[in-house]
């Protein structure tokens, strides 16, 4: 599945700082913790809580965020639908990486066990 150039550009320009509070609100509404959210982000990107905060403070774009990330080798095991897109069919690398993160946050908010979310 291909995404439009406009969609991909919008993903690249979003800042991690603008999306993080939305992720946090989503998981906390379902009685999950910020530490669990940070754990999920660290599993995917390699960024510990301190680095995540630094990237928030710097207001980095998702483009810069994922350029700096060391994506987990098991990230490609993240499949399914998110925001109307089948993750495994997304062709643009950055958009796929953003949707990986969205999917992990969604699974956390839905109460999935951490062992299942952190594939492998």
Question: First CA to last CA across the chain, in angstroms?
Answer: 26
> In this structure, is residue 61 part of a structural domain?
yes
C-beta atoms surrounding 96 within 10 Å: 20
Q: What tokens does 38 get?
A: 């940070």
> In this structure, is residue 120 part of a structural domain?
no
User: In total, how many domains does the chain have?
Assistant: 1
pLDDT digits (tens, 9 = 90+) for 25-83: 999 999 999 999 999 999 999 999 999 999 999 999 999 999 999 999 999 999 999 98
Secondary structure letter of residue 15 according to DSSP: B
Q: How high is the pLDDT of residue 47? A: 98
Question: What is the domain extent for residue 35?
Answer: 5-115
C-beta atoms surrounding 72 within 10 Å: 18
**pLDDT at residue 84 is higher than 90:** no
> In this structure, is residue 34 part of a structural domain?
yes
**pLDDT at residue 16 is higher than 70:** yes
User: What CATH number has the domain bearing residue 56?
Assistant: 1.10.8.290
3-state secondary structure of 98: helix
Three-point CA angle 55, 60, 64, nearest 5°: 105
């Amino acid at each position: 599945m291909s995404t439009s150039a406009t969609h991909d550009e919008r993903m690249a320009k979003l800042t991690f700082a603008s999306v993080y509070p939305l992720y946090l609100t989503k998981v906390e509404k379902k009685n999950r913790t910020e530490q669990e959210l940070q754990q999920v982000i660290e599993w995917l990107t390699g960024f510990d809580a301190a680095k995540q905060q630094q990237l928030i403070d710097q207001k980095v774009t998702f483009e810069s965020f994922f350029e700096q990330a060391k994506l987990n080798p098991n990230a490609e095991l993240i499949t399914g639908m998110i925001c109307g897109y089948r993750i495994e069919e997304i062709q643009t690398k950055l958009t796929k990486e953003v949707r990986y993160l969205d999917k992990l946050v969604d699974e956390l908010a839905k109460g999935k066990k951490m062992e299942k979310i952190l594939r492998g």
